[in-house]
Amino acid sequence: MSEFKHLYDDFKPEHYQIYLDINRETKRFEGKVTVTGEAFATDLAFHQKDLAITAVVVNGQTVAFSLDEDEETVNFQISAPSKLTVAFTYSAALTDNMTGIYPSYYEVCGVKKQLVGTQFETHFARQAFPAIDEPAAKATFDLSVKFDEQDGELIVSNMPEISNENGIHTFETTVKMSAYLLAFVLGDLQSKLGQTKNGTKVGVFATKAHKPQALDFPLDIAIRVIEFYESYFNVAYPLPHSWHIGLPDFSAGAMENWGCITYREVALLADPDNSTLATRQYVALVIAHELAHQWFGDLVTMQWWDDLWLNESFANMMEYVAIDSIEPNWHIWEQFSTAEATMALNRDAIDGVQSVHVAVNHPDEINTLFDGAIVYAKGARLMVMLRKWLGDTDFSAGLHTYFDKHQYGNTVGRDLWEALSKTSGRDVSAFMTSWIDQPGYPVLSVSVEKDTLVLRQQQFFTGEGVDKQRLWQIPLNSNWTGLPDVLSKAEVRLPNFAKLSAENGDKPLLFNAQNAAHYLVKYSTDLNEKIVSKIDSFDHITKVQLIQSALKLAEGGLSDYADLVELLATFDNESSNVVNTAMTQALNALKIFVDESSESEKNFKTFVGNLFEKQYKRLGWDKIAGESFNDEQLRALPISWEIYAENADALTQSSALFAKHKADIHSIPADSRPLVLKNEITENETADLVRQYFEAYAKTTDQKFQRELNLAVSSTKKMATVDYILSQYRKTALIKPQDLRFWFASLIRREFSQAKAFKWLTENWEWVQEKLGGDMASGDFIEFIGNVFDTADKLNEFTKFTDSFKDEPAFKRLIEMAKTEITSKIALLGAQKEKVQIALSSEIENVPKKV
């Protein structure tokens, strides 16, 4: 491929007139697009991909053109730079990889049906019409669509429909926006409608395969979140409506098309009769994320994809800000610490990870930017840090200044820093540049040397890493007064520690209060012992932070896993859901040191059984009227671990619950259903049971239930079942391509099925690429392998598998990081396995014997 070039430099579009005629039966469409704008060169190129272009007309004159399929362009010449109108006539196929314009399949009462929807982010608008398919190329759009319409069907788009003549649906002209935000969905849809206090129409749309009531919760959330954002940003929602559409086939979680947001059904719909609080919270967060994009990303858009964080990092933070405001009793910020913070700390510690702001030198690199742990989770964590550093009032005012100045335009990072600096009076760029532009994060080492408090920073790595002497502007956020605000040097020494301690009541010294900044803290032994001695007095987030730090420091070789085991044992009476979640994450990490069906696994099961037994007995299996949100969410964790630990009561209760609902396993209470389904497979698997699970999977429209069935059947102890599961992977009528990575992950993560799952991938990689290679999903397969492979032989197998595509821009970084991660696990097992097993034995011996 030749040197990368921005087509926007040569042609700046102002308006698109788009006509599409879609035939679902033939899976093709015909199109005509007329683009007005200004040319700044005589050799022009528009993006296109797989379009059969039959004519290019410039200012009424037909011109010769050529197609460059490698560069994905249509090329032609004009006599001189000028304002001009270009018309393209073409046809194309609907895609089958969930990009561009594509069909989405489902059934209602056994009748197969089809929607057609769009996915144009990142650079897939070119599969629908010739365009300058770059974020900076903002223009207005007139859209008209004709399709093989049947009675009762409808079509929705970014703007309201203004006419329907001879089957041609025409929509109002859009506001100025990037091409990747144009969208439409057509087919047989049901809807629920409402409006905000300021008169914006809000609607939720879904297929008629779902209960109408499943649309109520998302509609309520969407209305309240829009109202919150209008108040918080002090900028009105700029469109007449906000549509939210669930698609049966959708690769991402959701897409922020302006005024026409599309979702996976599991990320939008919530069955009021049998959905968990966790499900409703997930739906609420996704809706709030996509609505944040209506300002961050749509109203103001990054100039180019290297500043994707201006969209995603802010939206990922704002979803928590919004939901915390409208549902304060959920305590959603606690979950931020075990979700976003954990994800960011894990991936950002691997040498070779990308920075939040990263250069894009090749179109194939664009989708690699959508690293959920970096641009989303780490980026959100950095925005939380910045918000705390500035204070919410200055932060909110700065966002208003940013939107007011740059609305309907494009920006780079410094534009946001300037707006926030203007309102706060602080040098935001100086504070944030080290965090945005550098990969990784620091560990703050805290010790006392001869009555001097010593603070040191250095980059933290799990596994081997090259220390490049990077420094960060670290907000100390201490619970003590009299300390610096920010650490910018490699080391600072603060005298008179004893006096400072006395002035702060001799309470334990803590840094990074509320886990609000992106770094770890390693306390010296004496300081850490004082912290642990007071652990019961700390808030939930501080407890989570201590568990996270102990785990990461052990992974980085700065402490022993035995210390983590000892710390976890202190939480045997912990009743907080978020702390129990952090405990679960740490315990899952410890499993790498425990061989299946070994004495060490027996000890591990005893350890976790003791750890969760009190909460299991306190909460039981059944929801209690009037119980707290915390208890409602927590219940599943102790049940899950007690089943794993082979607690006789837990096993009996699970089997009884399955037997009670055997005729309709979907009716098992949603909170315990995934545990019961999995336990039945592990304890009582038969060919009939596996068949029942797959039949239920094929029949249901509940995507969450499908994931539960996937995880349950993949926990099989029978190799014949593994073979059967793998034989179903390419049956796209059963396992949709959007769900393939979840199925693969559920087998590759288990030692029992890992070899066969990997073999399947190596033999079917070309097919996987064909189905998923167009978007950001195919890289997940590489990441899954890096997460679980842990021997030299497996590393060699992985290297051999990836050798043919290791230098491709879409996979280069992912492969290198996976190798680093595997190498790290090999070293950890060698250094820590015996220590972990000794620590587990010791903790079990210290537990009083039951009488």
Q: Which residues line the annotated binding site for Zn(2+)?
A: 289, 293, 312
Three-state secondary structure call for residue 120: coil
Question: Cα angle at 212 between 211 and 213, to 5 degrees?
Answer: 90
Beta bridge partners of 190: 206
Please name the amino acid found at residue 10.
Answer: D
Q: Tell me the HSE value of 660 on the side-chain side, using a 13 A CA sphere.
A: 11
> Is residue 488 packed enough to be buried (19+ CB in 10 Å), middle (13-18) or exposed (0-12)?
middle
Which residue from 736, 685, 692 is spatially nearest to 715, judged by alpha carbons?
A: 685
Please name the amino acid found at residue 833.
Answer: K
Render 444-510 in DSSP notation, one character per residue.
EEEEEETTEEEEEEEE--SSS---------EE---SSSSS-SEE-SSEEEE--HHHHHHHTTTPPP-
766 included as an active-site residue: no
Render 391-419 in DSSP notation, one character per residue.
-HHHHHHHHHHHHHHHTTEEE-HHHHHHH
Q: What is the largest CA-CA distance in the chain?
A: 95
Binding residues: 289, 293, 312
Catalytic residue chosen out of the listed positions 290, 334, 642, 680: 290
| Main-chain dihedrals φ then ψ at residue 492, nearest 5 degrees | -135, 140
Spatial contact of 699 and 212, defined as CB atoms under 8 Å apart = no
- Residue 158 in tokens: 């970014």
Which residue from 80, 64, 72 is spatially nearest to 99, judged by alpha carbons?
A: 72
Report the 10 Å Cβ neighbour count for 667. 12
Q: At what angle do helices 719-728 and 751-772 cross, to 10 degrees?
A: 10
Report the 10 Å Cβ neighbour count for 232. 19
Cα 244 from chain centre: 19
DSSP 5: -
Spatial contact of 633 and 607, defined as CB atoms under 8 Å apart = no
Q: What is the 3-state secondary structure (H, E, C) of 688-757?
A: HHHHHHHHHHHHCCCHHHHHHHHHHHCCCCCHHHHHHHHHHCCCCCCCCHHHHHHHHHHHHCCHHHHHHH
Spatial contact of 185 and 260, defined as CB atoms under 8 Å apart = yes
Catalytic residues: 290
